[in-house]
Amino acid sequence: MGMWDVNRALGVGANVYHVYIASMIARFRDLGLLKFGVILRASEDTGRRVAQYFTALGVKLGSVEEALELLNLTLGFSDEVRARVVDGGTLEVAFSKDTCKICPRNIGGLELPGPACPNVGFVKGFLEELGLAKLKEKFNVANGELPVEQRDGYCVIRYQILERKAPEGAAQAPLATALVSARST
């Protein structure tokens, strides 16, 4: 059994669904039943399904920032999510590491080394299914590039922007740096 710490989960305000997600991924990884490639594809498909669900409810989102704000406010993955474009064609999505409620390592108690973050695929699938962007993950484990970079208290996920889109009937808004907070002010 991993380093499960119920006080850590309570300390970041994780709900039972957060604990369920983080712990299930951690246990499957610890048991050797789940590799990162499976997490990546399964979470991408899950992101697409959540986007389809929002669309079926009549939710219309016109920008990446708006989509990430709704996603984080609805699911409450982290107290803070940031999005920005760097180097002219790279989307960076950063989750506050200390407040991420679905981290298989910090919340689920995963001890094995290697990537396990479900947000890498989830964000990609969600944004693509909404028609806001076509993305490609920017990492190559064989070259030592991990899917999630730890930087200044954030878990940063990088995507190459293959295409920026606006949903039908929405104007294309430039992607500015966005700070999305799940905490009420």
Confidence at 166, pLDDT banded by 50, 70, 90: low
CATH number at residue 107: 3.30.1380
Name the pLDDT band for 4 (thresholds 50, 70, 90). confident
* Residue of 161, 160, 103 whose CA lies nearest to 132: 161
Q: How many domains does the chain have?
A: 1
Q: Which helix (H) or strand (E) holds 159?
A: strand 154-164
Model confidence pLDDT, tens digit, residues 153-163: 999 999 999 99
The pLDDT > 70 percentage for the chain reads 88
Structural tokens at position 168:
């039908």
Residue 118 lies in a domain: yes
- pLDDT of 175 > 70? The answer is no
Residue 137, domain extent: 6-181
Whether 89 is covered by a domain: the verdict is yes
| pLDDT tens per residue across span 43-84 | 999 999 999 999 999 999 989 999 999 999 999 999 999 999
How far apart CA 183 and CA 102 sit, in angstroms, is 16
Report the SS3 class of residue 50: helix
What integer pLDDT is reported at residue 176 of this predicted model?
41
With respect to residue 148, please indicate whether it lies within any of the assigned structural domains. Answer: yes
Q: What angle do CA 41, 62, 78 make, to 5 degrees?
A: 55
Q: Is residue 160 part of a domain?
A: yes
Sign of the C-alpha dihedral computed for residues 52, 158, 166 and 100 taken in this order: positive
Tell whether 1 is covered by a domain: no
Contacts of 83 (CB under 8 A, 6+ apart): 64, 65, 68, 91, 92, 93, 94, 175, 177, 178, 180
Residue of higher predicted confidence among 51 and 113: 51
